[in-house]
Amino acid sequence: MGLFGGDRSQAETTAQLPVPEYEHFPTDTYCIACAVAVSQEEVTAFRELLEKETATTTVVEQSTFLSRELDGELQIQQTEEDVAAFVHELVETWEGQIDGDPSAVWWPLESDWRVALYMRYCRARAEHETDEFDCTERIERVRTLVSRCEAASENAAKRGVVHRDRVPGERAK
């Protein structure tokens, strides 16, 4: 009996050790992001959409489009360079994170409006009669990917604490 009694008291002592309720991560180097499964083909389609959009001359000026779109919805200062730069960084970061097919990439929680705005711009260009840009099949493929990312951002189980260097648009300060 004495043998079992000694083990039990040691187990009770171990169980009573203080356990921190949560870990603190510095907000200047970590942020919350969502893990999203993507395929190489989807990221390639996104890259091709970006390249085609920037390589063709436009009838629908992005600055005019953005000022019209942002005026009614958001009260912020956003330039075409900001939106385009973010979307380019998003694709470049994802390309660096892909290590198989499918792969998991990080989707910044606050990014959906910028990508959605860029997608509306691409659709407006594709639908314009005199614009050279025609990338309808890629737009649909990327729209499906973005919809999956937006759905993931609504699911708390897909969120994680991630170093800012791994999340597009969230570089460490």
pLDDT in tens, 134-169: 777 788 889 999 999 888 888 888 888 888 888 887
Q: Supply the pLDDT for residue 168.
A: 82
CA separation, residue 109 to residues 36, 50, 67, 75, 150 (Å): 12, 21, 23, 19, 8
Contact (CB, 8 A) for 42 and 34: no
Q: Supply the pLDDT for residue 43.
A: 92
| The pTM of the whole model exceeds 0.75 | no
Q: Supply the pLDDT for residue 76.
A: 47
CA separation, residue 149 to residues 23, 34, 109, 138, 159 (Å): 26, 8, 9, 17, 11
3-state secondary structure of 37: strand
Using CA atoms, how far apart are residues 133 and 136, in angstroms rounded to an integer? 9
3-state secondary structure of 156: helix
Residue ranges of the chain with pLDDT lower than 70?
Answer: 1-23, 59-82, 171-173
Q: Supply the pLDDT for residue 77.
A: 47
